[in-house]
Chains A and B, each alone.
Chain A
Amino acid sequence: MDEARIVRRGAGPRLWLAGGWLLLVLLAAIFAPLVAPQDPLAQDLMLERLPPFWLDGAEPGYWLGTDSLGRDLLSRLIFGGRIAFIVAFAAAIAACLVGSTLGLIAGYFGGWADRIISRIVDIWMAFPPVLFAILLVAVLGTGLSSVILAIAIIDWTRFCRVIRAEAMGQSRMDYVENARIAGYGRIGIMLREVLPNVLPSIVALLSLEMGIAVIVEAILSFVNLSISTDDPTWGGIIAEGRLSIHQAWWVLVFPLITLILTVLSFSQFGEALKTRFDPVLR
């Protein structure tokens, strides 16, 4: 039980730091029109490439500086967070529902169901994911919903593989056998005995997947395949910042920091939640 105690001690600050950052970005994204200091699309060539507030030449009201078209970087990051979070939640939940359901069925029922589902997963994983995503968006057309759909279509296999393995282990446990002796139906056992025991993993994966969805969305918008070029996205800002790295490093650095912190927070938050959810580790 020593291990459990260490995990519990570590879970506190990790959960609060990661959760705090995510909450901050989430609130900023929800209330973007209220909290953003400027219009993220307003161009003003008189204000181009203003440095962040602590450097000489900064303008008040443009805290993180401006890009080469004079748009306010902080406001663009805040509005970009909207898109990042919509994609993260929608895509991760869709991938989770499909993948976990199929994984649970494959792992618990085994036999033919398992063979069919596992082969599909194998075939799916043979495609390089980023290439697959670019291909899908090219076919589905750009736009928010096709980005979400593409991520869900690609990443359900992550859930499926992990949940299948866990469900498989669970269904060999004596309490599952006991439930069978008592006369419970197969679906009932799956939902009542197996699902609660794989739930902590589903929660952790879900959070991790949100981070991955944020990255994939950034990659797609980096190569200009996400949504319309006007809307600010983190990937889009990074792509623009790359071009002016020598004149205005902040346009590249701040979105990168935001992206990294967000993705890291999602994975840490998931891990911390898992230990909270798991009655044995709690």
Chain B
Amino acid sequence: MSACLDIIDLSAVLANGQRVLRSVSLTVQPGEVRALVGESGAGKTMIGKAVLGVLPSSVRIVEGDMRLEGEDLGRLQPKARRTLIGARTALIPQDPLTALNPSRRIGPQMTDRLVRILGWSGDKADKRVRQLLDEVQIREPDRVLRSYPHELSGGMRQRVLIAAAFAAEPRLIVADEPTTALDVTVQKQILRLIAELQREHGTAILFVTHDLGVVAKISQKVSVLYAGKVVEEADTATLFASPQHPYTRALMAATPRYTDPFASLKPVDETVLAGLAAEIAAADQAWSRPHG
């Protein structure tokens, strides 16, 4: 059985030639949650966008393959690729405030995709959307479906977006820091909802986050990213029990602990950063030799 998502040696550069992804490889098995963790600017979101085919025009993929359920995305015609990505993937975005069209009601926004892209009947789409709203614990589906996005709270909007993402039964969901823009009490509920729906629907998730606490709660596998390079990859339990890479250890040490709120936060150590810089430089040199 082929993996749900298979990324092999993916490299991408900016227009000025600077590398933003450095031979990234990662696999998401069907029904599995793979966390992609790293500091901001590490390229985690870039990987998600590359998979979904919405990289900004300034970023160019120069090498590597992406396979979605065995289909090589690079070999497909643009139109066929769009259709495949549209049918089998979905995004849970970072900012629920800008991810819904402000001038359209929630109902049509949610059902549209099912009707137009998957060719469902209006009734079937409506039933499906209501079922999903129930699953994300929205108690007044009629009111919500008739609302404009600005009439709902941030947490409500994120629930709507989660429901929308799961509604089309995608095989893979890219969750791009889905709790970052929410306040802490809502974060927990949203995280629990995503985990619950993931288990029920058996959807594979590529979960992008900078929060190790979230990683521990939701994922089975982790890839730790630094400067567009995967520095460590392991089962979540193994990673937390015995982190191998010094950067991973430093990240864990830098995570604030609720049990000791007055302890000062530790930034990542200088020597660790120097080691990382050397590692990246060596990798770049090795990479640029055959690539001129």
Binding site for B on A (CB under 8 A): 173-175, 177-178, 180-184, 192-193, 196-197, 199, 278-280
Q: Are B101 and A196 in contact, with the CB atoms below 8 A?
A: yes
Chain A minimum-CB-distance residue to B52: A181
Residue numbers in A under 8 Å from B139 (CB-CB): none
CA A177 to CA B94, docked complex, whole Å: 12
Chain A residues within 8 Å of B90, by CB: 181-182
Instruction: Find chain B residues with CB under 8 A from A184 CB.
Output: 86, 116-117
Question: Chain A contacts of B91 at CB under 8 A?
Answer: 177-178, 181
Per-residue interface assignment for chain B, residues 101 to 117, with 1 indicating a CB less than 8 Å from any chain A CB and 0 otherwise:
11110000000110011
Cβ contacts under 8 Å, B69 to chain A: none
User: Inter-chain contact count A-B, CB under 8 Å?
Assistant: 57
Q: Is B85 an interface residue (CB 8 A)?
A: yes
Contact of B102 with A280 in the complex, beta carbons under 8 Å: yes
- In the complex, A173 Cα to B98 Cα: how many Å? 6
Contact of A182 with B86 in the complex, beta carbons under 8 Å = yes
Contact yes or no, A175 B101, CB < 8 A: yes
Please classify how large the interface on chain B is, using the bins under 10, 10 to 19, 20 to 34, 35 or more.
Answer: 20 to 34
Q: Are B117 and A197 in contact (CB under 8 A)?
A: no
Contacts of A181 in B (CB 8 A): 52-54, 85-86, 89-91
Contact A183 B150 (CB under 8 A): no
> In the complex, which residues of chain A have a beta carbon less than 8 angstroms from the beta carbon of B169?
none
Within 53-85 of B, Cβ neighbours of A (below 8 Å) are at: 53-54, 82-83, 85
Tell me the nearest residue of chain B to A185, going by C-beta: B82
One digit per residue, 1 when the CB lies within 8 angstroms of any chain A CB and 0 when it does not, for chain B 223-256 equals 0000000000000000000000000000000000
7 smallest CB-CB distances across A and B, nearest first, come from A183-B86, A174-B99, A196-B103, A174-B98, A279-B148, A175-B101, A182-B113
Q: In this assembly, does B95 line the interface, its C-beta being within 8 Å of a C-beta of chain A?
A: yes
Partner of B117, one of A173, A183, A196, A279: A183
Instruction: State whether A199 and B85 are in contact (beta carbons under 8 Å apart), knowing that A181-B53, A181-B54, A181-B90 are contacts in the complex.
Output: no
For the complex, give the distance between the alpha carbons of A178 and B116 in Å.
14
Find out whether the CB atom of B150 lies under 8 angstroms from the CB atom of A280.
yes
Are B87 and A183 interface neighbours, CB within 8 A? Answer: yes
- List chain B residues, Cβ under 8 A from A182: 86, 90, 113, 117
Which residues of chain A are near B86, meaning CB under 8 Å?
A: 181-184
Query: B155 contacts the other chain (Cβ, under 8 Å)?
Result: no
Q: In the complex, A193 Cα to B90 Cα: how many Å?
A: 18
Query: With A and B bound together, what is the CA distance between A192 and B112 in angstroms?
Result: 11
A-B contacts, 15 of them at CB < 8 A, read A174-B93, A174-B98, A175-B100, A175-B101, A178-B91, A178-B99, A181-B52, A181-B53, A182-B117, A184-B86, A184-B116, A197-B101, A279-B103, A279-B148, A280-B148
B193-243 residues with Cβ-Cβ distance < 8 A to A are: none
Contacts A182-B90, A196-B104, A280-B148 supplied; 19 other A-B pairs, CB < 8 Å: A173-B98, A173-B101, A174-B93, A174-B95, A174-B98, A177-B54, A178-B91, A178-B93, A180-B53, A180-B54, A181-B52, A182-B117, A183-B82, A183-B83, A184-B116, A193-B101, A197-B101, A199-B103, A279-B148
Query: Given A181-B54, A182-B86, are A279 and B102 neighbors across the interface (CB < 8 Å)?
Result: yes
